[in-house]
Amino acid sequence: MGGKNMRNGARATRRQQANTPGRGGHARLRAVVVAVLLALCAALGAAGPAAAADGDDLIKVYVVKSPDQTGGAADTLESVATGTLGDPARGDEIFALNRGLAQPDGAALTNRTDALRPGWILRLPQDADGPDVQLARESGNQNASPPPGGATESAGTDSGSFEIPLPAVLAALGAIVLALVTAGIVARRRLRRAFTALARAFRALGEPARRRRRLQHRRSLASRFAGDAESVRRAYGAVEEFAGRGGRNETAVHALRVDDGGVTAWLAASDSAAAPWQRIDSTRWRRPAAATAWLNRGTEEGSGSRAPLPAVPACLVRVGTDGEGEPVFVDLTGLDGILSVTGDHGVARDVVRSLLAEVARSRPDVPVTVLRGTDGAPPIPVPRALSELPSADGGRRPSPGTAPRPGTVRAAASRRPVKGLVVLSGVPGEREAAELLALCGPGGAGWTGLVCGEVGGAHWRWHTGSEGTVELPVLGVTLTVPA
């Protein structure tokens, strides 16, 4: 039993060592190095026989010099034997090796007493040595020629000649390339992390300028909204088509996108729209700009360039622009209580400020009351066009712990006119939470709450990002928010 436990412990230890990142990485690196070395040895070993075979036709030679090169004395077989073999008597061996062989000038050594001509290449015995001994390649005929390109190697007295054959060089280069590729594969994670860190550093360097450009764009977007009454008129005109006139049932429009090519409306999946509206998907319908006859209403000469807003109960507000820079509206009458804007607190405040500005332009008679949170967040300023009240609903504020008035529990959102707005920035305390529910919750006073932060009981929840964007999960869109 004890031996079995020890074996299990040893296996667990080995598994732990194998799973250790550092040990595993070193083991893989060692395996790669060993594999590369084996590949290099195999390559050199394969190149060895080729090199040996290639070296079989290399012989030792002596190139006959002119008297100018030797100091005035002409080369003889005896002088060559003395300089390369150390024995003048071995001149007969040199004669025997070269007799009848064609020389570069076409002549040949035929007699022992023939004069040696400068430039002749004399074969030497294999034990020849000295500074004048050179290597030549056997040309396959009676003549011996220097190595290709005319290059010759001198064989020194203490060190013999040495050549690295081309196959061995190619094998070594291949092994080096293999080692580099293998090292790159092993270190790819480290390289990826290094490149990621480098890219992050470059982004950090350009982040301040990018944020300034982004903020400038959002500010220009606020100015554009303030001066663009045409898109508001077109949005209300599109909602009017769903108002249920002419014997048709009213259809709730949750959101609108207005552009030069037409209008896109978000409806419930169970609703539909009549022509000229065309279905895009389960919730979106599109009407081309050419089918907007209502745009001409109220634009007769002398009546001004802008038509009055249609008398519909909708309260449309532009939340921001989509990826193509086109404004997207939502209808606050479908909010049914409280909107909670979470995420980046500064951008969330921009969202609520923009919504208040939109309401001030289209519904300036809506009253507003401001609640302060317990986290010290500054209150959101109310536009002058709106009527700010010190307390909502005639000064009736619930005391801490007071429950909302009884009412019907709604399983789904219902549409109701925007009677008033309750604005809260930050985390609500007990009193503020009770008042918010009493004014905006189920069975409450029917007001609409706009909260910068997380709050319980919210029917809509939007999430903002530090880049100045807000995500609307119900619509599945992300918009750029005015600043």
SS3 string, 166-219, reads HHHHHHHHHHHHHHHHHHHHHCHHHHHHHHHHHHHHHHHHHHHHHHHHHHHHHH
pTM higher than 0.75 for the full model? no
User: Which has the minimum average pLDDT: 24-28, 160-164, 180-184, 201-205?
Assistant: 160-164
Instruction: Give the Å distances, CA to CA, from 351 to 139, 189, 193.
Output: 91, 41, 37
The H-assigned helical ranges of 2-144 are 2-19, 21-54, 67-70, 77-85, 91-98
| Sign, CA torsion 156/158/161/163 | negative
Three-class DSSP category at 460: strand
Rounded to whole angstroms, the Cα distance separating 342 from 347 reads: 9
* pLDDT for position 302: 37
| pLDDT tens figures, 163-197 | 556 777 787 788 888 877 777 777 777 778 887 88
Q: Is residue 139 part of a domain?
A: yes
Query: Is the model more confident about 11 or about 253?
Result: 253
Nearby residues of 287 by Cβ (< 8 Å), 6 or more positions away: 238, 262, 263, 265, 273, 276, 277, 278
Strand 338-343 relative to strand 448-452: parallel, antiparallel, unpaired? parallel
Same domain? For 359 and 451 the reply is: yes
Q: Is residue 384 part of a domain?
A: yes
Of 135, 159, 183, at which residue does a domain stop? 159
Burial 405-425 (b: 16+ CB within 10 A, else e): eeeeeeeebebbebebbbbbb
Q: Say whether pLDDT at 70 is over 90.
A: no
- Asked, as a colleague might, if the bond just before 276 is cis with ω within 30 of 0, I would say yes
Q: Say whether pLDDT at 225 is over 80.
A: yes
* pLDDT for position 125: 95
User: Which has the minimum average pLDDT: 9-13, 110-114, 172-176, 345-349?
Assistant: 9-13
**What is the C-alpha radius of gyration for the chain, rounded to an integer number of angstroms?**
48
Of 105, 138, 159, at which residue does a domain stop? 159
Same domain? For 344 and 469 the reply is: yes
* pLDDT for position 330: 95
Same domain? For 73 and 120 the reply is: yes
Rounded to whole angstroms, the Cα distance separating 143 from 139 reads: 7
Same domain? For 237 and 126 the reply is: no
Q: Which two tokens stand for residue 208?
A: 């301040």
Same domain? For 471 and 338 the reply is: yes
Instruction: Give the Å distances, CA to CA, from 175 to 35, 143, 171, 347.
Output: 10, 39, 6, 58
Same domain? For 427 and 337 the reply is: yes
Q: In the chain, helix, strand, coil percent, each to 5?
A: 40, 20, 40
User: Which has the minimum average pLDDT: 12-26, 150-164, 457-471?
Assistant: 150-164
Q: Say whether pLDDT at 205 is over 50.
A: yes
Same domain? For 141 and 275 the reply is: no
Of 97, 128, 159, at which residue does a domain stop? 159
Average pLDDT value for residue range 141-155: 48
* pLDDT for position 334: 84
Same domain? For 305 and 351 the reply is: no
Q: What is the DSSP letter of 289?
A: G
**In the structure, what pLDDT confidence band is assigned to residue 333 with cuts at 50, 70 and 90?**
confident
* pLDDT for position 8: 55
Average pLDDT value for residue range 3-17: 52
Q: Specify the amino acid at residue 146.
A: P
Nearby residues of 270 by Cβ (< 8 Å), 6 or more positions away: none
Q: Specify the amino acid at residue 147.
A: P
Q: Is residue 182 part of a domain?
A: no
Rounded to whole angstroms, the Cα distance separating 163 from 149 reads: 15
Rounded to whole angstroms, the Cα distance separating 415 from 193 reads: 52
Q: Of the candidates 313, 252, 48, which has an alpha carbon nearest to the alpha carbon of residue 167?
A: 48
* pLDDT for position 358: 93
Instruction: Give the Å distances, CA to CA, from 50 to 41, 54, 171.
Output: 15, 6, 12
Three-class DSSP category at 27: helix
Q: Is residue 377 part of a domain?
A: yes
* pLDDT for position 180: 79
How many whole angstroms from its chain centre is CA 399? 54
Same domain? For 341 and 461 the reply is: yes
Q: Of the candidates 145, 143, 88, which has an alpha carbon nearest to the alpha carbon of residue 134?
A: 145
Q: Are 284 and 264 in contact (CB under 8 A)?
A: yes
Q: Are 433 and 459 in contact (CB under 8 A)?
A: no
Domain span holding position 447? 332-399+415-480
Rounded to whole angstroms, the Cα distance separating 116 from 357 reads: 112
Highest mean pLDDT: which range of 65-74, 291-300, 315-324, 408-417? 315-324
| Sign, CA torsion 344/346/351/352 | positive
* pLDDT for position 194: 80
Q: Is residue 297 part of a domain?
A: yes
Look at the chain and report how many structural domains it folds into. Answer: 3
Same domain? For 106 and 235 the reply is: no
Q: Say whether pLDDT at 123 is over 70.
A: yes
Q: Say whether pLDDT at 7 is over 70.
A: no
Q: Is residue 351 part of a domain?
A: yes
Q: Specify the amino acid at residue 113.
A: T
Q: Is residue 113 part of a domain?
A: yes
Q: Say whether pLDDT at 371 is over 80.
A: yes
User: Which has the minimum average pLDDT: 107-121, 232-246, 404-418?
Assistant: 404-418
What mean pLDDT is reported for the chain? 78
Q: Is residue 35 part of a domain?
A: no
* pLDDT for position 404: 41
**In the structure, what pLDDT confidence band is assigned to residue 120 with cuts at 50, 70 and 90?**
very high
* pLDDT for position 25: 54
Q: Which two tokens stand for residue 406?
A: 């009884």
Same domain? For 141 and 236 the reply is: no
| pLDDT tens figures, 263-312 | 999 999 999 888 899 999 999 999 998 765 444 444 433 333 444 455 55
Q: Of the candidates 56, 57, 132, 38, which has an alpha carbon nearest to the alpha carbon of residue 94?
A: 132
Rounded to whole angstroms, the Cα distance separating 192 from 199 reads: 10
Nearby residues of 423 by Cβ (< 8 Å), 6 or more positions away: 352, 356, 368, 369, 370, 371, 379, 380, 382, 449, 450, 451
Same domain? For 147 and 249 the reply is: no
